[in-house]
Amino acid sequence: MIASSSLQSWLKCGSDNNLARVISLEFRRGRSKRLGSKMRVRNALGSRLFQWCSRENHTSVRKLLELDGTSERSKLLNKVSVLMGYSNAQDLVEQQRARRESATELISVFKEIDFPEISAKFPCIKIGDASPIELYEDSTDMKCKEAVLSKNLTNFIRDSGGNLEIAYEFPNGSHLLSQTPTTADDISISEESSLIAEHISQEPSVDMQARPESSSDAVTSDSSILDKSIRCLPGTTSRQYRQLEDGGFHTVRKLLQHFPRTYADLQNPQGSIEDGQYIMLFGTVISSRGIKVKSTLGFLEVVVGCSIVEPESSDNSSHSGAEQKTIHLHLKKFFSGTRFSSQYFLNCMSAKHKEGDLVYVSGKIKKALANGHYELKEYTIDGLEGEGEQSSMLDRKPHPIYPSKAGLKPSLLGLSISRALKLLTPDVDPMPPDVLTEFNLPNLFDAYLGIHKPKDRDEADFARRRLIFDDFFYLQLGRLFQMLEAVGTRVEKEELLYKCKNHELNTVAVDDWSPVTKKLLNALPYSLTPSQLNAVKEIIWDLRRPVPMNRLLQGDVGCGKTIVAFLACMEVVSSGFQAAFMVPTEVLAVQHYEHLMSLLEKFDGDAKPNIALLTGSTSTRESRIIRNGLKTGEIAMVIGTHSLIADKTDFLALRISVIDEQQRFGVVQRGRFNSKLYTSSSKLSDESTGADEASDSETFMAPHVLAMSATPIPRTLALALYGDMSLTQITDLPPGRQPIETLALEGNDEGFKTVFQMMRDELIDGGKVYLVYPIIDESEHLPQLRAATTEFDSIKQKFKGYPCGLLHGRMRSDEKDEALSSFRSGETRILLSTQVIEIGVDVPDASMMIVMNAERFGIAQLHQLRGRVGRGERKSRCIFLASTPSTLPRLKVLEKSADGFYLANADLLLRGPGNLLGKKQSGHLPEFPIARLEIDGGILQEAHHAALKVLAASNDLSLYPGLKVELSMRQPLCILGD
Ligand SMILES: Nc1ncnc2c1ncn2[C@@H]1O[C@H](COP(=O)(O)OP(=O)(O)OP(=O)(O)O)[C@@H](O)[C@H]1O
């Protein structure tokens, strides 16, 4: 086994091209069965291989080479072809032919070239990073130059091993580097194989780590190589192409974006190994066996020998220096079940690790009885097979460990990536150099080499930073580019970009607000907090621009977003247009409607805008009247649920749509407001206040959109999700709010006793209590969960004298309204509810909340629930009851912080963006090959700035054609599509 794997690596590392030529030649001559050719192939292959296996003492390979006769000969050719990575000799011949054809094509192209001109323009040829070779040093006349060029060209193509690089030197001194993956292996196929054998002994090995200089002189950017089919990879068999394509690796880019999972350090750490230590060691497989213990139990044991350097022991002070020794790691994996303990299965498992394989092992070790032997039951073992393995071993570079994908072995992926890297040139990067300088990033060519073949860990980190930057940059660029495309004139585009960059500068002072808006402001029983005020100023500035606003208003629970949105609606209404306020539930719609109506009570009859409520439960007759009012312009503002975006709901002049709890709506739903266009002439009245500068034109306009979110999404996540939206955050809470006292307790008998006592004290003290349950009815499948309806009677019994209400999603909407308004008015003092109250419910004097089976909810969700109390001036409490002690630590995070953004970040780190946002939202999260939103937020901000900068320099990217191509070649951007 060692013999064949070592032979394989020997074949790969050095003699690919010439061996392939010999085999190809011999295979095609096979039918003639000429003794001479058989002798020659034996000579060519034999002398080198014999030399090698004598040195290594591999008798099995020697036997292989001693085969004789025709059948053995074809066996030999097949075997060596397979060892070289081809399917068989036939496959090798086909691939050689394909290469020859493309090389011949290249030669014929060069034959058509005007030699006098080309010899003047391209005086030298450059291979790899070797110094350029002057082509015509001694030749003066043209015929002579032509002969020299074609001879040199043929030789260079053949010798370049698929990695030909030609430097064209222009008379002005600039260079153009070009690289071709073509080889001309068989250009001289008719030459005698003895000649070829000679080549074998002289062939220079391909240096995997050889890197052409990053050339700032490159005059073109050739990023197109990234989108070439992987069929241009040199030295890959058709079987390998098929495997890679089946695994989804169709292009060079796809392959290069398969990043290492980690890097193996091929220098085992110095120091003694302790029992229980987590180790990461590089070693060689000594044995691998599958052992059946009984009919339903078996195990796999792989023994790996690792050479480590132990420091000199203290009692041995006479010796200086450290001691090299080999330790044995016994990796054990157990299998239970008849199928997995069959000897066949165990043999298959053990065959995956062959004696002599170089591997990288990580895991926690346990000392075994024998000295120097350790056991690992949970471990990771990665093979270190692949091109460049030997060089990285020699120079101790970090060795990339690739995750397998679609059943493809990491070794094949690593090998193909190495081949793909050879095709790259320094001009592959379309990123403008000033962006690279400003954000301290390596060029893309260096980044790909750095991530796949790093010289050290720092280089890998630097490369990773650039690749993460790209993930975010193209996402931001795509979204901003689309946003600009939707805007008409250049002036508008520039204004929009200016806004994106300087949003804090764009506000309208209170004095300049419309009279109706100011009236509502004066009608409030409180003053706005600084960030509420700033948010309104910002939004009103937006409302006066010709470009439709697309803004996300974010704020922690209970920070007072609703009033900000109401003021924005009033500004629009007072300029003679209509406003729509859409919420996800009827309960919330009714609540908002009643709230606004109570605020407008102070308005005189004439100045009071006409407001309507439209939900699914509005009677048919009433909704017909409301729809008619919206169509004729009689109604200035409507608050409602999904009915607002129904086709049959038409507006005369809808100028703003507010979407509360926007994450609860699908994108298509949110976007449907955009189809409700308006023109300036459709204004309800002429009473213009100077707002809305765009209203002079007759063109149709989409309404402004103000989306609100009470789930504090970390800014980075918001930027990734809503890259094209302006963001306003309300960062302070209304004054007088007392911090909510939060407790996380185990929901055992003791815990319940304590909690019910606290609840009784609160009720005696005049408070109101929410009891939140994870489910409505008891479930057989989830017996540990408490249910709202099931416990209703027992709570009533326990707290006699304190009326109880029930609220859950299966109730009719009038029943829900009634339950909530009874609680609000104080008719009921205890409300048993499910999570329906999570969003928007506002009962300012509710003072206590108890959440059952709290571990069933996410942290952000619990924070939302907790926000239902503490909305007034009364001191409030929130208690989270955990079903088991093990779930308590997670809930304790909420005891420590009441900051929604902090908690959302904690949730993001704990559960990742997908879980934080829920299924519906996370479906819109773009996929990033390397970036992780939860930790790479800083780079996202930089990428956002870079995208703005690029678009400011060239709105349509005409100055950056490379970026435009790259943008279109990346995954189609899913702009929050449903
Ligand atoms: N500046 C303020 N001063 C005092 N009270 C305020 C202020 N702003 C809003 N409020 C009150 O705070 C309570 C919560 O406001 P609102 O319902 O708008 O919060 P919200 O941000 O929508 O919260 P949620 O996300 O929980 O729905 C309301 O009773 C509101 O009247």
Q: What is the pLDDT of residues 930-972, one digit of tens each?
A: 666 556 667 777 888 888 888 888 888 888 888 888 887 764 4
pLDDT at 305 over 60: yes
For the CA of 867, the closest atom of ligand 1 is: 26
pLDDT at residue 581 tops 90: yes
Q: How far is the CA of 764 from the centre of ligand 1 (A)?
A: 27
Which whole number is the average pLDDT over 714-724?
A: 57
What is the spatial distance between Cα 948 and Cα 500, in angstroms, rounded to a whole number?
Answer: 8
Report how far apart, in Å, the C-alpha atoms of 189 and of each of 24, 298, 370 are.
9, 55, 59
Tokens of 949: 């900068």
Would you report the helix, strand and coil content of the chain in percent, each value rounded to 5?
45, 15, 35
- Mean pLDDT for the stretch of residues 183-188: 32
Exposed e or buried b per residue across 332-346, where buried means at least 16 C-beta atoms within 10 angstroms of its C-beta: ebebeeeeebbeebb
- CA–centroid distance, residue 214 to ligand 1 (Å): 57
Are 425 and 419 in contact by the 8 Å Cβ rule? The answer is no
Per residue, the 3-state secondary structure of 654-723, as one string, reads EEEEEECCHHHCCHHHHHHHHHCCECHHHCCCCCCCCCCHHHHCCCCECCEEEEEECCCCCHHHHHHHCC
**pLDDT reading at 687 higher than 60:** no
Which of 743, 744, 786, 740 minimizes the C-alpha distance to 887? Answer: 744
Ligand 1 neighbourhood includes 868 CB (under 6 angstroms): no
Choice from 563, 592, 594, 738 to test ligand 1 binding pocket (greatest atom count within 8 A of CB): 563
For ligand 1, the distance from its centroid to the CA atom of residue 650, given in whole angstroms, is 31
Do the Cβ atoms of 504 and 554 come closer than 8 Å? no
End-to-end alpha carbon distance in the chain:
54
> Which residues does 809 contact at the CB level (< 8 Å), separation at least 6?
776, 834, 836
Which of 552, 562, 662 to mutate to test ligand 1, by most ligand atoms within 8 A of the CB atom? 562
User: Does 842 contact ligand 1 (Cβ within 6 A)?
Assistant: yes
Tell me the per-residue pLDDT of 831-842, one tens digit each, with 9 for 90 and over: 999 988 877 788
pLDDT of residue 942: 83
Amino acid symbol at 880? F
Cα separation, 11 vs 341, in Å, equals: 37
69: alpha, beta or left, given left = phi > 0 and alpha = psi -120 to 50?
left
Contact 235, 208 (CB under 8 A): no
Nearest CA to ligand 1 atom 8: 560
pLDDT at 18: 58
Instruction: Name the residue with the closest Cα to ligand 1, atom 27.
Output: 840
Whether 751 is in the pocket of ligand 1, judged by its Cβ within 6 Å, is no
pLDDT range class, residue 593, cuts 50, 70, 90: very high
- Write out pLDDT tens, residues 333-384: 888 888 888 888 888 888 888 888 888 887 788 888 888 899 988 887 877 6
Structure tokens at 190: 């008719």
| Nearest residue (CA) to ligand 1, atom 23 | 558
Distance from residue 792's CA to the centre of ligand 1 (Å): 30
Ligand 1: centre distance to CA 867 (Å): 11
Say if ligand 1 is within 6 A of residue 840 CB: yes
Average pLDDT score over residue span 463-472: 87
Higher per-residue confidence, 845 vs 116: 845
d(CA 551, CA 536): 12
> Residue 911's closest CA among 927, 934, 889?
934
- Residue 411 CA: distances (Å) to CA of 88, 191, 388, 537: 19, 35, 11, 59
| Three-state SS annotation for 802-858 | CCEEEECCCCCHHHHHHHHHHHHHCCCCEEEECHHHHCCCCCCCEEEEEECCHHHCC
pLDDT the model gives residue 529: 93
Average of per-residue pLDDT values in the chain: 73
**Is residue 554 within 6 Å of ligand 1 at its C-beta?**
no
Percent of the chain's residues with pLDDT above 90: 16
Of all protein residues, the one whose alpha carbon is nearest to atom 2 of ligand 1 is 734
In the prediction, which pLDDT does 689 show?
44
CA 557 from chain center: how many Å?
A: 29
**Amino acid (one-letter) located at 102:** S
Q: What SS3 class is residue 920?
A: helix
CA 924 – ligand 1 centroid, Å: 29
Residue 175 pLDDT greater than 60, yes or no:
no
Phi and psi dihedrals of 550, rounded to 5?
-140, 90
- Structure-block tokens of residue 727: 């963001």
Whether ligand 1 lies within 6 angstroms of the CB of 710 is answered as yes
Residue 558 C-alpha to ligand 1 middle, in angstroms?
5
Establish whether residue 594 lines the binding site of ligand 1, counting it when its CB lies within 6 angstroms of any ligand atom.
no
- Mutate which of 559, 658, 659, 733 for ligand 1? The one with the most ligand atoms within 8 Å of its CB, which is 559
CA of 559 to the centre of ligand 1 (A): 5
- Indicate if the pLDDT at residue 553 is higher than 70: yes
- In percent, the amount of the chain with pLDDT more than 70 equals 63
- Nearest-CA residue for atom 11 of ligand 1: 560
Nearest Cα to 331, choosing from 365, 294, 284, 372?
365
Q: How does DSSP classify residue 645? A: G
Closest to 2 (Cα-Cα) out of 57, 82, 75: 57
- Find the 440 Cα to ligand 1 centroid distance in Å: 44
The pLDDT of 643-657, averaged and rounded, is 85
Distance of CA 416 to the CA centre of its chain: 23
**Contact criterion met (CB below 8 Å) for 154 and 106:** no
Instruction: Tell me how crowded residue 954 is: count the other CB atoms within 10 A of its CB.
Output: 14
Question: Which distant-in-sequence residues (6+ apart) come within 8 Å of 444 by Cβ?
Answer: 223, 428, 429, 430, 431, 466, 470
Distance from C-alpha of 423 to C-alpha of 234, rounded to nearest angstrom: 9
Confidence of residue 204 (pLDDT cuts 50, 70, 90): very low
**How far, in Å, is the centroid of ligand 1 from the Cα of 570?**
18
Statement: residue 285 has pLDDT above 60: yes
Cα(717) to ligand 1 centroid in Å equals: 24
Find the range with the poorest average confidence among 207-221, 417-431, 745-759: 207-221
* pLDDT bracket for residue 922 (50, 70, 90): very low
pLDDT over 80 at 918, yes or no: no
Ligand 1 contacts CB of residue 873 (under 6 A): no
Lowest mean pLDDT among 64-78, 464-478, 643-657, 848-862: 64-78
pLDDT higher at 235 or 189 = 235
**Mean per-residue pLDDT for 856-884?**
87
899 C-alpha vs ligand 1 centroid, how far in Å?
A: 16
Q: Is the CB of 191 under 6 A from ligand 1?
A: no
Rounded distance, CA 25 to CA 587, Å?
82
pLDDT above 80: residue 326: yes
Strand order in the sheet with 704-709: 611-614, 637-640, 578-582, 654-659, 704-709, 550-555, 726-730
Of all atoms in ligand 1, which is nearest to the CA of residue 840? 27
867 lines ligand 1 (CB under 6 A): yes
3-state secondary structure of 413: helix
Q: Considering only CA atoms, give the Rg of the chain.
A: 37
Answer with the residue of higher pLDDT: 312 or 874: 874
To which residue do tokens 């924005």 refer? 568
Choose between 7 and 267: higher pLDDT.
267
Dist. CA 496 → ligand 1 center (Å): 31
354, 285 contact by CB (below 8 A): yes
Q: How far is the CA of 597 from the centre of ligand 1 (A)?
A: 16
Does ligand 1 come within 6 angstroms of the Cβ of 587?
no
Q: Which atom of ligand 1 is nearest to the CA of 532?
A: 1
Instruction: Tell me the CB-side half-sphere exposure of residue 398, using CA atoms within 13 A.
Output: 21
Q: How far apart, in whole angstroms, are the C-alpha atoms of residue 964 and residue 957?
A: 6
At 85 the pLDDT is 65
With a 6 Å cutoff on the Cβ, whether 734 touches ligand 1 is yes
Q: Which residue has the higher pLDDT, 399 or 870?
A: 870
What is residue 66's predicted lDDT score, i.e. its pLDDT? 52
CA 545/CA 704 separation, integer angstroms: 10
pLDDT of residue 778: 82
- Distance from Cα 31 to the centre of ligand 1, integer Å: 90
* Residue in 526, 590, 862 to alter for ligand 1 test, most ligand atoms within 8 A of Cβ: 526
- Determine the distance separating the centroid of ligand 1 and the alpha carbon of 862, expressed in angstroms: 18
CA of 861 to the centre of ligand 1 (A): 18
pLDDT score of 624: 92
Q: What are phi and psi of 600, to 5 degrees?
A: -80, -5
> Tokens standing for 208?
């995997």
Q: What is the pLDDT of residue 725?
A: 64
- Give the residue, 867 or 46, on which the prediction is more confident: 867
Chain mean position to CA 861: 24
> With a 6 A CB cut-off, is 576 part of the ligand 1 pocket?
no
> Residue 640 pairs with which residues in a beta bridge?
582, 614
The CA-atom distances, in angstroms, between 660 and each of 200, 664, 839, 865 are 74, 9, 10, 17
Highest mean pLDDT among 122-136, 374-388, 555-569, 704-718: 555-569
Degrees, nearest 5: CA angle 184-190-196: 70
Ligand 1, atom 14: closest residue by C-alpha:
558
Position 28 scores a pLDDT of 64
Least confidently predicted of 221-235, 401-415, 518-532, 865-879: 221-235
